[in-house]
């Protein structure tokens, strides 16, 4: 398969990271930094969710389909996982940068009860990226390494579910003055909520 032969291993991380940075520079617009940042947050959040689906869900997908594409995902899940983490960190760094570029928006839209659990997830995801190599795997030992990667993967998964529960149901209670663009397209919002829920189902089914 062309895909398997040409786009495998570390180049997955290099190429995807270059694309993320290109999109960031194309999307950010100094004349409306708040809205352009929000657009990048939506894009990065959604793409990271699909990348988590194919990396954290690779083995479950292969058990289900036994196809060459799912085998490709299994052998490259580390690299898709690292790309997921890099994109989530761009999401996080952009949010933090908005405390300087859009301080009023930040103060009104990023309460502590979202910032603290979100930051913990980004921290775990960052640790996953830093330890996604053979040296760290040996240094931590297989059991600790696996525990860290399960914890980080599930923390990201639960955060994605939380994001769409917030957009669809919890916003009036938790962020009464905030308007989620995605809430205007309920079909899209429900479809996006189905992505992490399907991943959870895939991971938990025997």
Rule CB under 6 A: which residues touch ligand HEM? 38, 41-42, 45-46, 49, 88, 91, 95, 110, 114-115, 118-119, 121-122, 156, 159-160, 163, 167, 180-182, 192
The nearest distance, CB 67 to ligand HEM, in angstroms, is 27
The nearest distance, CB 108 to ligand HEM, in angstroms, is 11
Compare residues 56 and 79 and give the one whose CB is closer to ligand HEM. Answer: 56
Compare residues 53 and 122 and give the one whose CB is closer to ligand HEM. Answer: 122
For residue 26, the SS3 value is helix
Cα Rg of the chain, angstroms: 18
Q: Which distant-in-sequence residues (6+ apart) come within 8 Å of 38 by Cβ?
A: 181
Asked whether the CA dihedral 142, 122, 4, 193 is positive or negative, the reply is: positive
Compare residues 73 and 156 and give the one whose CB is closer to ligand HEM. Answer: 156
Compare residues 42 and 203 and give the one whose CB is closer to ligand HEM. Answer: 42
Long-range CB pairs of 2-11 (<8 Å, 24+ gap) are 3/69, 3/72, 4/68, 4/72, 8/72, 8/75, 8/76, 8/79, 9/76, 9/79, 10/79
Closest CA to 202 of 61, 69, 88, 102: 61
Q: How many residues does the chain have?
A: 206
Compare residues 73 and 88 and give the one whose CB is closer to ligand HEM. Answer: 88
Closest CA to 200 of 53, 45, 46: 53
Compare residues 132 and 159 and give the one whose CB is closer to ligand HEM. Answer: 159
The nearest distance, CB 14 to ligand HEM, in angstroms, is 23
The nearest distance, CB 71 to ligand HEM, in angstroms, is 27
CA angle 134, 158, 194 (to 5 degrees): 110
The nearest distance, CB 163 to ligand HEM, in angstroms, is 4
The nearest distance, CB 121 to ligand HEM, in angstroms, is 4
């Amino acid at each position: 398969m062309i895909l398997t032969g040409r786009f495998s291993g570390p180049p997955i991380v290099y190429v995807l990271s270059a694309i993320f940075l290109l999109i960031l520079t194309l999307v950010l617009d100094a004349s409306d930094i708040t809205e352009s940042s929000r657009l990048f947050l939506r894009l990065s959040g959604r793409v990271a969710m699909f990348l988590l689906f194919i990396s954290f869900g690779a083995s479950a997908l292969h058990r289900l389909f036994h196809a060459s594409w799912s085998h490709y995902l299994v052998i490259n899940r580390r690299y898709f996982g690292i790309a997921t983490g890099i994109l989530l960190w761009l999401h996080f760094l952009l949010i933090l940068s908005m405390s300087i570029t859009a301080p009023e928006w930040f103060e009104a839209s990023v309460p502590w009860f979202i910032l603290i659990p979100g930051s913990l997830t980004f921290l775990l995801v960052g640790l996953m990226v830093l330890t996604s190599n053979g040296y760290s795997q040996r240094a931590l030992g297989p059991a600790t390494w696996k525990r860290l990667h399960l914890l980080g993967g599930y923390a990201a998964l639960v955060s994605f579910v939380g994001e769409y529960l917030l957009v669809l149901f919890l916003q009036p209670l938790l962020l009464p003055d905030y308007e989620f663009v995605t809430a205007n397209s309920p079909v899209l919002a429900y479809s996006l909520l189905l992505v992490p829920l399907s991943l959870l189902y895939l991971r938990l089914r025997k």
